[in-house]
Structure 1
């Protein structure tokens, strides 16, 4: 084979490799602080709730509450969740070697495992085979001993627990084939501009395997630093269990004020009655007056040295508050439907102008910040998108089949 032909073949192969390289949002860090984060995970097979918990080394109950699944069902931790169900997995996001990631997950290898199968199937693309190899110092990726305990570094971001100066929890979302950035924004009730800024994107283009940081509005707490659950933050529309399963906190759909009450799992818990009052945790009394409404409430103040801290507060408000709104609870899922809350985010509806099944929107909304394609918007965060470069953006505008056609045509002309 002529050297010129060999060189062109290698060049085309490298170009194809660039086209399929997924991108992931990376947040540099320089301190030891951690935050609460979420992973978007699609089940690769039917799994019990407890098995999902073991897979990520997290409390199974926290998985249920993060997805607003009713925990009062009998033996709920042994309920079998269906394959392809999409769940939000709560994890602790730490700072490791200058990058935000979750490093509390370990996986014990089985006879049929490879780094690729663990990456693509078991953890649904949240970690790559190369990341597994590097994190575990594996010399030969084709040789895995059964029972090896592998560290699984998982992507997460904190961004100071805020989005546009409001409390937020960040979800690491693996882009599916059917996804568009507009569809993802619509699903999580945010904007294209916000997603592009958070992920330092220069265009709205995404492809399967990309991992995006998606900000979710949340209810934050102001518990003291010495409280065991200091920094508790609950995404809007979900719940959290704290204080040794004694207290259940929710972030209602109508507001971003955390509301805590005794949990349905509570068995042996410290007193939840506010001092100098008959009110229990979560109770609110109101009394109308000519000046407004006198409101007295017994709220949760954190879990300190095994004790549930309660705080009695009184205030004068212009009007009496309505009943507390709770995120709607669902039964433990047993099937997956396209219309499910947990289904992959849909592409925008076609307006009929394009071919059937087209997923590209008629027009794309780009932040009006004068940003240049290939560079992050001017108001973007300090994070970065790995494997992103101008070559990728340029090549991605040409279909691989067309590039192959040109390559073959060129070879024929010189032969």
Structure 2
């Protein structure tokens, strides 16, 4: 006896279940939120992929930051001629430094503003221009937009960016946190290897119950860093610099570098230094960054001229004298790179690799190409929150769902309906 044809009732019941399942699958993007209750702030970063060719100054303006800070965060040479007008290629991935305050009980950056242009929508701003770091719903809520389909040209929009502080530490060591949008080919192991951390650490920081991640999720990734010990009254108090990069401070007069694997800043006069106060340590002939060493039977006597913060327009220096078991080698500074002219795909577009054992039993970490990585393009945006344990302190949180932009959801459902109806009519 031949199988009976499916009724229209059963067909549309199946269609409804498929749509329901698809919606529940597509809106599951999450991000890590750190609850807070005080008025302090910290330095943080977001990972951003350029949606088109942009000048350095344009990328900086997009996030409301100093172009110099964008360059130094990615270890790019700031002395390159006319560097602020250098054009960065589309699809280049950069780390963008931001300030992370406590706003409405959670950590988020609200210092970024965007002026709407013709044809802009909340979805296009969120998905394309800011690469999924924010959602259309978050933009609508932050700006009290009643009709998301209508934006006035020139309208000033607050762009709430995800960020975390966690006391600027990770397992008791200095760290700065990068908000990273998961890409379709990413794995948690690959992200851990790329940023020199561990799977366990990522899971703990992001309150993950498993290693499963989805495109559009936003992970808080701890980056090892060097911290400063400047006095609280210094304008650059709390300066923290990720491994393998540098920062410019003291009104562009001082450069503080953090070499790979180091925990201590090494500060010297910056290449941009023009009209700067004295950088000589009192009571010595040493200039900022200089040191002398003298071997003795008791060890190595080391005298160094160190930077001690920028106070009321004056560069503070401090002469340090110590006896060390052996004389230290020359400071190892990160090698700065010229501004990128191409966004090479190479193997970075392949799935992010997991750590692979070496013959010595250690781990092999993929190099970051001078601090700039190019992950693949994202698909759906993400945002939301999580709980975390970092630096010995426990902070409670939760996972939230960030809906897809209306246009994306409409297209997805429309395609699903067409597919199911086509299959259904073939059966009838």
TM-score range (shorter-chain normalised) is 0.7 to 0.9
Which aligned pairs between 1:397-408 and structure 2 lie closer than 5 A? none
Counterpart Cα distance in 2 of 1:324 and 1:55: 35
Aligned residues: 374
Counterpart Cα distance in 1 of 2:354 and 2:170: 28
Aligned in 2, Cα 1:388/1:149: closer, same or farther, shift over 3 Å?
closer
Does 1:27 pair with 2:40?
A: no
Residues 259-293 of structure 1: CA deviation (Å, up to 9, x unaligned):
00110011111111111111111111101111110
Counterpart in 2 of 1:367? Answer: none
Counterpart in 2 of 1:347? Answer: 352
Does 1:123 pair with 2:119?
A: no
5+ long unaligned stretches in structure 2? 1-6, 357-385, 403-412
Aligned in 2, Cα 1:69/1:385: closer, same or farther, shift over 3 Å?
farther
CA contact (8 A) 2:302 2:323 kept: yes
Counterpart Cα distance in 2 of 1:350 and 1:240: 30
Which aligned pairs between 1:9-20 and structure 2 lie closer than 5 A? 9-20=15-26
CA contact (8 A) 2:387 2:395 kept: no
Aligned-CA RMSD value: 2.9
Counterpart in 2 of 1:321? Answer: 328
Aligned in 2, Cα 1:187/1:6: closer, same or farther, shift over 3 Å?
same
By how many angstroms is 1:63 displaced?
A: 0.6
TM-score, with length taken from structure 1: 0.84
**Partner secondary structure for residue 59 of structure 2:** helix
**Partner secondary structure for residue 77 of structure 1:** helix
Counterpart Cα distance in 2 of 1:348 and 1:73: 33
By how many angstroms is 1:131 displaced?
A: 0.3
**Partner secondary structure for residue 149 of structure 2:** coil
Which aligned pairs between 1:16-415 and structure 2 lie closer than 5 A? 16-21=22-27, 22-339=29-346, 343=348, 346-348=351-353, 381-387=394-400
Residues 134-163 of structure 1: CA deviation (Å, up to 9, x unaligned):
000000000001000000000000011110
CA contact (8 A) 1:199 1:384 kept: no
5+ long unaligned stretches in structure 1? 352-374, 390-399
Counterpart Cα distance in 2 of 1:93 and 1:298: 32
By how many angstroms is 1:297 displaced?
A: 0.4
By how many angstroms is 1:57 displaced?
A: 0.4
**Partner secondary structure for residue 314 of structure 1:** strand
By how many angstroms is 1:381 displaced?
A: 4.9
Aligned in 2, Cα 1:3/1:382: closer, same or farther, shift over 3 Å?
farther
CA contact (8 A) 1:25 1:383 kept: no
Counterpart Cα distance in 2 of 1:209 and 1:56: 20
